[in-house]
Structure 1
Amino acid sequence: MVFTATSTEVEPPRTLTVKAAKELFVLPQADHSSGRLRPITHDPSSNVDFGAEVYDIDLNNFTSADFEFISDALHKHKLLVFKGQPAMLTPQQQYKLTSSFDPDETTGGFAHGADPYLTTYNGVDIYGLDKRPAIPCQPQVHILGRGEVPRNHYQFPPNFKVKGIDHTDFHLPPHIPQEERESGASRFYQWHWDGSLYNIPPPRVGCLLAVQTPRGPDVTVRWDDGTGSEMTIAPGATAMVAGSRALALLDDETRNVVMNSRIQYAPHAFQWMSTAHSTRLGHLLETEGKEMPLEKLSLWEESKLCIYPMVWTNPKTGEKSLQVHGQGAHKLYLKDSADGVERVIDDLKEVRAFMHKIMRPVLSPENIYAHRHMEQDVILWYNRALWHSITEFPESYGPRIMHQCNVAASDHPSG
């Protein structure tokens, strides 16, 4: 069953709260054999070793036993693609699935904090940003992508359009000329894991439902960093790399440093970086002195700064992953052993040189999985083991409408 722009959705009955989600999660047990798992087969030239497809689990009606199966599979494979969904996943069920990974979390807050007011339609207030509006009936679920949402799409007004990302607004010039973009030239926008980088713990998982996908030939992603690297991917694909692979690619000395070191992220990091330029590869900020001065940011507190280890551990498998957000990095605390002397790096040029050293090796085509979204499929990823990036595609290919859910965790990463 394919969802199109002319489909009419049934209005969901109510917002699902954290309490309701956890109460509804007490469901009859189901036989694990009903879920079939198939590891994704990657190209022989690829070094990607994560990802699996899941069949025969209806996410609109998953059971507690289904969830146990999903959780074990996700921690092992880091990315799950749910195929053959009999109906479009509802926002309430998407939130229920995502929030179930953190039974200790009780606030149900969006991973980036409270959304601002956006608009009102038919007496319903809609919150969020024009590039990330929240679905009113389940505000932890946001619409991402670009273009007009389908007709009668929950409580959104007719002809409501989501503003897409555009590298010309963020990346260092020169930008890809418009005529080349319309011919299929593309970029990675921002390599990251989901999280506010200030005060709020980053989600354990992310969940993305493909409502509408762009129609057109594959696009060519350009590195534009002087290496000449390119990669052909599906239009609107979500690109991913494994933090475990990033860690494995480091030389022994550097790996020893990151295993014992921490990063301090900027206060209100996304506000701080909003006036700066990203590198063309989307992994760092350019050091031009254009970051918003700390004294001009929204009020912030030293005690709410996020200082995270560079390497995080999978709680079920014990696997180590290099999990860093290069653009938000503000200060480094480097040690080459657990009891070594800590060296503090607060010069942004030095901070970014080190971040480039540890991030760039994995950002090569053979290490990147670019997921080709299919309408009505759902992807679920372990946010504490993968990095991901949005990719651009020609406007002539039509809308890309995705429902994303990520929920602030009950804990900060501790290594």
Structure 2
Amino acid sequence: MVFALSNTATLVEPPKVLTVREVYCPPEAATSNGRVVPIKHSAHSKADFGAEVYGINLNNFTSADFDFISDVLHKHKLLVFKEQPEMLTPQQQYRLTACFDPEEKSGGFAHGADPVLLTKNGVTIYGLPNRPAINAQPQVHILGRGEVPENHFDFPPGFAVKGIDHMTFHIPPHIPQPERDNGASRFYQWHWDGSLYNIPPPRVGCLLAVRTPKGPDVTVHWGDGTGRTMEIAPGATAMVAGSRALELLDEETREIVLHSRIEYAPHAFQWMSTARSTQLGHLLETEGREIPLEKLPAWSEDKICVYPMVWTNPVTGEKSLQVHGQGAFKLYLKNGPGVEETVVTDLKEVRAFMDRIMRPVLSPEYIYAHPHQEQDVILWYNRALWHSITEFPESYGPRIMHQCNIAASDHPSG
């Protein structure tokens, strides 16, 4: 069976679901035909990451191709695979992602098992309304908003992915609907991918653009009183480098983050589900709206994630400030080795410190908003970048993305 995805490409149904034990080594090859071209950022941009890759068919990559991809990914942190001859299959998307962590044996989705979403005509779909899984490879999910293409895997006719927007998550004032319809936008949530509880965060993330919104650029509003805005392509994924975030801190603050840790809330996303985000999307407002710990699903101390604030690229040695402001629950601060930690438990103080270290890099000149093109694939080093989705008018049409991220075999250790 063939699933139509666009006027120019088709996606052939994979024969079966791959488990991580079935991710064989890619076919051997002496050399790769891969060619990398650094992204040319605009004249006013200070973003210093990202590259386009040509000459590799991700549906048939070899061991030499993977070695090439791994090397340039750790160097550039974000790769955009251009000129793909056909849509990347879910199996190959999973295979590419899993190859970055051969020690991981479970092959599980980075946020844990999916619930049943719907059962229709004898077919069960798993996931959430804004994140349904593809049965052909359940670690691959559909993100975005709008109706999926006709005959798209097991999804019933007319199936639509539920979008998310700032009006359901950010504290007011919200952007009025008429302005949103004319292209006013927001950053939804600045984060790196991970469950923040029990499951190690993925090493890499991978997105395939199946459908992209069509329309003029949108204007992202900071909404923080500064009046800052940024023109970006509709449906773009905004990214910043943790290395630049670290570099921008003053010397005293940099010394603190280099020696400090963050404790994330148990079941962090459920804990924050009743809270509201700042309008910039980097923190939660301190209003006492979080779900009390005793009312969360059962949790244990040994599964709570306590991570260094700064993570090191294992290939380049580059250090990155990698923090998730909305999930932060407690801080262990120290300004040098051998110094006693100061434990910060007051959420207002925790968030004030997170704002201090996150806000400097969240400025237009440091943000790269990637303009997705249909059939392109982006791959990013999840332990060195932060990202956020951005909003766009519904009149621009659907945004359908296939995303794969897999729980890692290890927790970040600095």
RMSD: 1.2
Alignment of 1:218-233 (within 5 A): 218-233=217-232
Aligned to 1:178: 177
Q: Determine the C-alpha separation between the residues in 2 that align with 1:156 and 1:233.
A: 31
Aligned to 2:12: 10
Q: Determine the C-alpha separation between the residues in 2 that align with 1:183 and 1:160.
A: 26
Once the two structures are TM-superposed, the CA of residue 27 in structure 1 deviates from its matched residue by 1.3
Query: SS of the residue aligned with 1:45?
Result: coil
Once the two structures are TM-superposed, the CA of residue 11 in structure 1 deviates from its matched residue by 2.5
Query: SS of the residue aligned with 1:155?
Result: coil
Answer yes or no: is the 8 Å Cα contact 1:10–1:154 preserved in 2: no
Once the two structures are TM-superposed, the CA of residue 362 in structure 1 deviates from its matched residue by 0.2
- Give the counterpart letter for 1:380 in structure 2: L
Once the two structures are TM-superposed, the CA of residue 363 in structure 1 deviates from its matched residue by 0.1
Flag structure 2 segments of 5+ consecutive residues without an equivalent: none
Q: Determine the C-alpha separation between the residues in 1 that align with 2:402 and 2:71.
A: 24
Alignment of 1:214-253 (within 5 A): 214-253=213-252
Once the two structures are TM-superposed, the CA of residue 387 in structure 1 deviates from its matched residue by 0.1
Which stretch of the first structure deviates more once superposed, 237-246 or 112-121? 112-121
Once the two structures are TM-superposed, the CA of residue 222 in structure 1 deviates from its matched residue by 0.1
Q: Deviations over 1:22-67 (max 9, x none)?
A: x2x24121423x1110000111211100000000100000001100
- Give the counterpart letter for 1:19 in structure 2: R
What is the percentage of aligned positions where both structures have the same residue?
Answer: 76
Aligned to 1:412: 411
Q: Determine the C-alpha separation between the residues in 2 that align with 1:97 and 1:191.
A: 25
Q: Deviations over 1:51-90 (max 9, x none)?
A: 0000010000000110000000000000000000000000
Alignment of 1:6-405 (within 5 A): 9-21=11-23, 23=24, 25-32=25-32, 34-405=33-404
Once the two structures are TM-superposed, the CA of residue 10 in structure 1 deviates from its matched residue by 3.1
Flag structure 1 segments of 5+ consecutive residues without an equivalent: none
Answer yes or no: is the 8 Å Cα contact 1:30–1:63 preserved in 2: no
Answer yes or no: is the 8 Å Cα contact 1:243–1:387 preserved in 2: yes
Once the two structures are TM-superposed, the CA of residue 199 in structure 1 deviates from its matched residue by 0.2
Once the two structures are TM-superposed, the CA of residue 4 in structure 1 deviates from its matched residue by 2.8
Once the two structures are TM-superposed, the CA of residue 121 in structure 1 deviates from its matched residue by 3.5
- Give the counterpart letter for 2:136 in structure 1: C
Answer yes or no: is the 8 Å Cα contact 2:11–2:88 preserved in 1: no
Q: How many residues end up aligned between the 2 structures?
A: 411
Query: SS of the residue aligned with 2:315?
Result: coil
Change (3 A) 1:7 1:51: closer
Q: Determine the C-alpha separation between the residues in 2 that align with 1:138 and 1:122.
A: 20
Once the two structures are TM-superposed, the CA of residue 125 in structure 1 deviates from its matched residue by 1.7
Q: Determine the C-alpha separation between the residues in 1 that align with 2:387 and 2:188.
A: 10
Query: SS of the residue aligned with 1:264?
Result: strand
Once the two structures are TM-superposed, the CA of residue 3 in structure 1 deviates from its matched residue by 4.6
Query: SS of the residue aligned with 2:340?
Result: coil
Answer yes or no: is the 8 Å Cα contact 1:8–1:152 preserved in 2: no
Once the two structures are TM-superposed, the CA of residue 12 in structure 1 deviates from its matched residue by 2.1
Q: Determine the C-alpha separation between the residues in 1 that align with 2:216 and 2:298.
A: 46
Q: Determine the C-alpha separation between the residues in 1 that align with 2:217 and 2:340.
A: 50
Q: Deviations over 1:199-253 (max 9, x none)?
A: 0000000000000000100000000100000000000000000000000000000
Change (3 A) 1:132 1:6: farther
TM-score by length of 1: 0.97
Answer yes or no: is the 8 Å Cα contact 1:116–1:127 preserved in 2: yes
Q: Determine the C-alpha separation between the residues in 2 that align with 1:7 and 1:375.
A: 10
Answer yes or no: is the 8 Å Cα contact 2:11–2:86 preserved in 1: no
Q: Determine the C-alpha separation between the residues in 2 that align with 1:382 and 1:26.
A: 20
Q: Determine the C-alpha separation between the residues in 2 that align with 1:392 and 1:8.
A: 28
- Give the counterpart letter for 2:19 in structure 1: T
Answer yes or no: is the 8 Å Cα contact 1:309–1:413 preserved in 2: yes
Q: Determine the C-alpha separation between the residues in 2 that align with 1:314 and 1:341.
A: 27
TM-score by length of 2: 0.98
